[in-house]
Amino acid sequence: MQPTDEIESAKQIIDEANALLITAGAGMGVDSGLPDFRGTEGFWREYPVLKKLGYRFEYMANPKWFEENPKLAWAFYGHRLNLYRKTKPHKGFSLLLQLARKKGDDYFVYTSNVDGQFQKAGFDPEKIAEIHGSIHHLQCHIPCTKDIWSAQKTPDIPIDMERFEALEIPKCIHCDAVARPNILMFADYSWISSRSDTQEQRFENWLEEVHKNNKKLAIIEIGAGIAIPSIRHAGETIASSFSNATLIRINPRESDIDPNLGIGLAFGGLEALECIVAV
């Protein structure tokens, strides 16, 4: 891709900034080969058994399955855990980290992704807010306590893909009930949010410092769609309330943005970042 005026503008915005906020949705992982489950057909391509059953993503991403059918629940989440563990973050992550380090590590990552790719790419875990939790952490599905623990010692989940059933079920380390990922799901009243709450408080503290010191803030939003617009809204809110903040929206299909807030780049994440760094 040849550099465009928008790419030149994005580079200038980043170069002139004192601080960097990276906001990322599911589209951030596409260049790593991860599915973003865009639309029902995209989800069903990944899970043909669920297509036969007529189960949509919103139907599967519900904590009730850990009570009603834990083999099905862990087939879905176990497959994703196994996938995210073996996935290598694409080059765009290292390019973002390179940009962040040029700001003296004055950055933060705000993401709806639960895949842990930013940590794997070398970003400081203390500078990441995972607003929907992480698949790499577990909790009791009941829950019997408010404890959250790392899934690091949990082996990969063996799955019968034809029947779409987990052959082993992770258990709560306290009561031996079925464990579940510490992820916010639909209709979820048992998610333990304390880990994400702590991350979000760090993020708010960082934003306060940026605002107090009147720093010039560049917001790079990547792969955040309109279906679940929490990431888009967060960046827009910050860009509109901070006088020195500019939003760069990178999205191949949904790059529209209020020109008063920033600019839109209708490209994939990796493609746009490679051009910004190369310019």
pLDDT for the residue numbered 38: 66
pLDDT at 1: 43
What was the pLDDT predicted at 236?
98
Tally Cβ neighbours within 10 Å of residue 187.
9
d(C-alpha 208, C-alpha 142), whole Å: 36
Nearest to 67 by CA among 178, 183, 184: 178
Specify the CATH architecture of the domain 5-278: 3-Layer(aba) Sandwich (3.40)
**Which regions of the chain are under pLDDT 50?**
1-2
Q: What is the pLDDT of residue 2?
A: 43
What span, in angstroms and rounded, lies between the C-alpha atoms of 114 and 135?
Answer: 6
